[in-house]
Amino acid sequence: MAAEDILLQIEREHPEYIDKARLLRTYRDLYAGGQQLRKNADRYLVRRQKEPLEVYEERLSRVFYENYIGSIIDWYAATLFRREPILIFEGEDPPAKAFLQSFAEDCDWRGNTITEFFRNQLLDALITGESYALVDFPRRLERAESKGQEDSTGASRAYLCSVPAEQLINWNLDETGNFDWVVLRSTARRKPAIEQEDWSLETTWVYYDKTSFRKYWRRELASGEEPIILVDSGLHGLAKLGIVPVFPLSLQQGLWLMNRAGSLQLEHFNKSNGLAWALTMGLFATPVVYSDREWNQIVGESYYIQLAPGDRFGWTEPEGKVYQIAADNLSRLQEEIYRVCYLLTQAGGPLTSIRQSGVSKLRDFAITQEILRAYGDAVKEAIKKVLRAVIAAREDRIAVDVSGLDEFDISDLSDELADAERLLKAGIASPTLRKQVFKKLAFKFLSDVRQETKEQIAREIDEQFD
């Protein structure tokens, strides 16, 4: 696609993105809750038919939100990464191993480990169905003469950028289902200098295909929009691999938790606020006068009423049957939110404080564990694709694999040790088996140590059996 054609098409959005954009905004609000949802409550609190605007605005001012789905998503992300994924490097390339160790400790130049980065990627995917990681390399004006020069100047120091689903506005897939090209859009309000009178809205578009990129920029001031300009272009870091440097972490429909529970959460939001409003209004009883004569007296705290001998006076008070029905329905909705998110034990109500054995916990969490393993497989596949692309672009002579994310602190480490001991006593004459068993136990117990330390432990175990 020529540069002129891209400039004409740069603001266009993919039809799927147009259909999904509003839904993603709703899902972000449902996950965040708090002030973010209160600020946008008019989008979600249904106005009753012929409800006076003053009443609706008062209901909006009293709105509250019980955020079950946000807690569920956070629980899944925290539980899956309870133990860090294990990066396994094989090959005799010390500089490559040193780079990957530093990359694992700071993969985005912001101090985030690769575990923290992909935990956030999974969080985004649970909310929006997918998230993206952009692989990039530092821009250098002069071309390096050798790989050693690339390493010494930092040109080969790859890093990752998180790309939320909302920023991928246009794309095309090739015959293999991979990206043929993409357009990423981001916006930010900036004020470069304190002397500048107004904040400006700056929009950046970056076009990537399988070899090149082009970066466009536009500023919007109070006086109007400026034209879109091309600010940078050239080959991207994965050009020699012939792939677009954007890697998705996509979840199947059944694993997209926010999509499964979002409508239930909205229904719970409206009914809980409706019940709260009804209870509040029930505190202010309405006077009722039973009389055959015309009634024109003013009733209030500072007034009195005069009744004829046959007149009667009373107060309305709700019987409470509909309140009980509403409360029961809210409980059922809450349980359904947990059920569709595969947390069956919570679906029956809060977990009891009764102590459970390891076997009992495994039985109760059997389905939840399978879902967690599915998330773990998706995350491990995304990490492997990213790392292998970085290694190929750097031309490192090393292989990488990712394991872990399949144990979720349901069973005790003592159970694992007992199983490993029985396996080793079975008499299987395989040094490789013993080596892998020791590595798994060591990495599980020391899951939160630095990658460099894990590599040292792995080497020492290998040397023991060589």
Tokens 């490789």 appear where?
432
Kindly state the tokens that stand for 265: 């959460």
pLDDT at residue 312 in the model: 76
pLDDT at residue 464 in the model: 76
When mean pLDDT is compared across 126-140, 168-182, 191-205, the lowest value belongs to: 191-205
pLDDT at residue 291 in the model: 73
Chain segment 275-289, per-residue pLDDT in tens: 898 888 777 766 677
pLDDT at residue 347 in the model: 64
* Strand, helix or coil for residue 421: helix
**pLDDT band, very low/low/confident/very high, at 322 (cuts 50, 70, 90):** confident
pLDDT at residue 389 in the model: 95
Average confidence (pLDDT) over 195-210:
86
How many C-beta atoms surround the C-beta of residue 136 within 10 A? 16
pLDDT at residue 272 in the model: 93
When mean pLDDT is compared across 25-34, 121-130, 216-225, 263-272, the lowest value belongs to: 216-225
Average confidence (pLDDT) over 291-303:
67
When mean pLDDT is compared across 29-33, 219-223, 336-340, the lowest value belongs to: 219-223
Supply the DSSP symbol for 302.
T
Return the axis-axis angle of helices 15-32 and 114-128, rounded to nearest 10°.
Answer: 110
Q: For 109, phi and psi rounded to 5 degrees? A: 65, 15
Domain positions in the chain = 413-466
H/E run at residue 440: helix 431-445
pLDDT at residue 386 in the model: 96
Whether 364 contacts 411, CB under 8 Å: no
pLDDT at residue 351 in the model: 44
Chain segment 347-361, per-residue pLDDT in tens: 655 444 445 555 555
Share of the chain above pLDDT 90, in %: 49
Chain segment 23-55, per-residue pLDDT in tens: 999 999 999 999 999 999 999 999 999 989 999
pLDDT at 425 over 70: yes
pLDDT at residue 268 in the model: 96
pLDDT at residue 95 in the model: 87
pLDDT at 90 over 90: no
pTM above 0.85, yes or no: no
* Residue 144 to residues 139, 147, 159, 399, Cα–Cα distance (Å): 11, 7, 18, 24
More confident residue, 323 or 379: 379
